[in-house]
A and B are shown apart, each in its own frame.
Chain A
Amino acid sequence: MKQFISFVKKEFYHIFRDRRTILILLGMPIVQILLFGFALTNEVKNAQIAILDNAQDDASAALRTQLDASRYFTVARELHSYTEIEQAFREGKIKLVVVLPHRFNQDLQHLNSAQVQLIADASDPNVGTTLTNYASAVILDYQDRITNQRKLPYTINTELRYLYNPQLKGAYSFVPGVMAMVLMLVCTMMTAITIVREKETGTMEVMLVSPVRPLKIILAKAVPYLLLSSVNIASILLLSTLALDVPIQGNIFLLIGESLLFTITSLALGLLISSATASQQTAMFISLTGLFLPTVMLSGFMFPIENMPLPLRLISNLVPAKWFYIIAQSVMIKGLGITAVWKETLVLLGMTLLLLTLAIRSFKIRLA
């Protein structure tokens, strides 16, 4: 035990000697949670649209005012002919064009019906369809306003309640996701180069001839990073509640415990990468290029997992961040207890044990 502690101490000195790295390791999660918590949203707003108003009459002016007043978009440009549309899209700023026919007002007055065409730049299908939906809603509102709404018989009313997030804030879905992503990447990266660096600089040989067992060497490397991660967890949770207004509905100790478990999973993954690779460059490249995109895309916080094809749904089960995202969302936002997340917890626990075993197995006593 004494031996182990002195090893941990040695690792501590190694890390804390490098002030710059410490600063980055502790500052990175703070900056990221703030940046992404505020900036990322799936909502479509502030989009620029254009109007091709062939009518130029009272009705078209009124509709235009109503479109402009919508909080989802602003009418940024006036087009004068159909041929201008393509160029407007190509320049990239305009996402939707509303085409009003000649005689818009007359049609409405005399025929009781008129045609409006919506042309979306669907190169981003999400933005395209969302804007089409929003614009349709605005136009239907306009139609309702000019019709004398009379009360119809046999009316079914609907009453709508938003659970967990009544103000529909984007941060409620992004904060648990960003937490999973930041913890995962920072922790894995931190440990990924620890062992391999000693291999590369040659100090590993020294350690190996010492009477310490490899298991202890590996664990001693993880301990200081676990402490650093705890600081990160604390700062992330504080920021979410204080700065981003995402409350912790469930038990805070459960949330902290689960975060620590997930941190250990990530550290174990880092250790495995470190003991299986031969150079720092390879280790870092694997832990970043190999983990960044899969973590973002397959953990379920950017894209719904149920939409993915079966093979990817299966692969997503291997992504630790997916499980932590479910846990964080359940405990933090829904306020559920351990009875709701025990399965996910067990999965993370199992992954951790497996990764640690693999890391120790692939850690070779003799170097090449």
Chain B
Amino acid sequence: MRTLKFLLQKEFRQIFRDPAIIRIIFVMPLIQLIILPLAADYEVKNIKLSVVDHDHSTYSRQLVEKVTSSGYFTLNDYSPSFDKALGEVEQNHADLILEIPADFEGMLVRADESTLFIAVNAINGVKANLGAAYLRSIIQDYNSEVRLKWIQFPRFNPELSIAITSANWFNPHLNYRFFMVPGILVILVTMVGAFLTSLNIVKEKEIGTIEQINVTPIRKYHFILGKLIPFWVLGLLVLSLGLLIAWLIYGITPVGSLLVIYVFAAVYLLAVLGLGLLVSTYTSSQQQAMLISFFMMMIFILLGGLYTSIDSMPAWAQAFTKLNPVAYFIEVMRMVVLKGSGIADIRNHLSVVLGIAVVLNSWAVFNYKKRA
């Protein structure tokens, strides 16, 4: 126990001796937590519209007015031809082209039928789909208005209709930040934990001080614990600061209990630190350690459900996320913060991550050889 205490003293001193790294550990993640959630907004709005009106009739003007006053679209320009409008799309000035054929009004009134042409930039399929759907529903509305003008419907409408009401639970204002902030916080805690541990041991290897430690009579587990505990503490500190910022800046207070978050985070950090340790036992330079942990982190983070929903991934990728500790923490954070899930709801997550922690750390201890 005394040995461990001395080791911890040494490690803490070593960490705090370099003020630059301390500043970076705390300041950089927190600045990002303050700024980046503002960037995360998938909502499709302000779709840039280019109109090609070959008709110039009352109806075509009414239609364009209805579209632009809907709030979803901003009118970029009236292009004289479709090709010109396509040029606007190429330059990213327009997302969607509405082409109104010549004699649009005439056809509608005389032949009972007229066709509008819509072309949409589909590089981003989701945005394209939604934009086109909005535009079509506005056109449908306009269509009903036109009909009302020409036909008198009977007083009792014989058409059957299902009224759909919808409710959004847990986040009724659909505030994207409530969803992103807890997720981003997980990423920051993870990066701090994993990178620092993986670099730390390998650094001792690289500059040769590990030999000195190896000739002392301390045990393997002393050494490993001495390396783990300081970064575990740092990770929890970053988490606490992050939660504070989430509250101060974004007004996010967990619906569920903070204790659940900390219990999970404590176990989770063990898993992440174990990963860092494992990487450092397999590598011989900081460069290698960094590249490998970066490689794994990037995969864990991008497939962790922060940006894109795990449910939408192909089956093999979903199978992989079952082993991805980051995915569990992101989900747990969102469950506890937004829905108030309790320890019983997350017990599966907790036991899996505990399992991962045990495996990784035992593996690392097993693989760490006292003699280099």
Contact = CB atoms under 8 A, between A and B. Distances in A.
Contact of A43 (B28, B126, B298, B345): B126
Contacts of B123: 164-165, 172-173, 329, 333-334
Contacts of A271: none
B212 interface: no
Nearest to B148: A154
Interface in B1-41: 18, 20-21, 24-25, 28-29, 32, 35-36, 38-41
Interface in A2-28: 18, 20-21, 24-25, 28
B169 A108 contact: no
Contact of A113 (B127, B160, B172, B191): B160
A25 B295 CA distance: 10
Contact of B127 (A152, A185, A304): A304
A120 B285 CA distance: 49
B167 A119 contact: yes
Interface in B117-163: 117-129, 132-133, 135-136, 139-140, 142-143, 146-147, 150-151, 157-163
Contacts of A125: 42-43, 168, 171, 174-176, 179
A90 B311 CA distance: 16
Nearest to A127: B309
A330 to B, nearest CB: 7
A183 interface: no
Contact of B160 (A28, A147, A164): A147
Interface in B80-99: 86, 89-92
A230 interface: no
Given A112-B161, A143-B161, A154-B112, A330 B169 contact: no
Contacts of A294: 32, 36
Nearest to A87: B345
Interface in A133-174: 133, 136, 139-140, 142-143, 146-147, 152-166, 168-170, 172-173
Nearest to B99: A159
Contacts of A168: 122, 125, 128-129
A280 B112 CA distance: 74
Interface in A52-85: 85
Interface stretch (B213-221, B267-275, B312-320, B355-363): B312-320
B contact residues, range: 35 or more
Interface string A14-48: 00001011001100100110011011111111111
Contacts of A21: 285, 287-288, 291
Contacts of A212: none
A159 B338 contact: no
Contacts of A289: 24, 28-29, 32, 188, 191-192, 195
Contacts of A41: 308, 312-313
B302 interface: yes
Contact of A89 (B117, B165, B339): B339
A115 B161 CA distance: 9
Given A156-B114, A293-B32, A162 B164 contact: no
Contact of B285 (A18, A42, A277, A304): A18
A353 interface: no
B68 interface: no
B278 interface: no
Contacts of B86: 163
Given A44-B309, A46-B311, A142 B125 contact: no
Given A48-B311, A293-B187, A303-B42, A119 B169 contact: yes
A236 interface: no
Given A47-B311, A121-B169, A139-B164, A156 B42 contact: no
Interface string A100-129: 000000001000111111111111111111
Contact of A156 (B116, B159, B295, B313): B116
A219 B227 CA distance: 37
A157 B125 contact: no
Contact of B167 (A117, A164, A173, A296): A117
Given A121-B170, A163-B120, A281-B21, A156 B142 contact: yes
Contacts of A164: 121-123
B41 A307 contact: yes
Nearest to A192: B290
Nearest to B294: A288
Contacts of B20: 277-279, 282
Contacts of A308: 38-39, 41
Given A125-B175, A293-B184, A306-B46, A158 B163 contact: no
B352 interface: no
Interface of B: 18, 20-21, 24-25, 28-29, 32, 35-36, 38-46, 86, 89-92, 108-109, 112-129, 132-133, 135-136, 139-140, 142-143, 146-147, 150-151, 157-172, 174-176, 178-179, 184, 187-188, 191-192, 195-196, 199, 203, 206-207, 283, 285-288, 290-292, 294-295, 297-299, 301-303, 307-309, 311-314, 317, 331, 334-335, 338-342, 345
9 contacts: A21-B288, A113-B163, A117-B165, A118-B164, A156-B140, A166-B122, A285-B195, A289-B28, A293-B32
List the 7 shortest-distance A-B pairs measured between CB atoms, nearest first: A168-B125, A122-B168, A162-B122, A39-B317, A125-B174, A123-B338, A165-B122
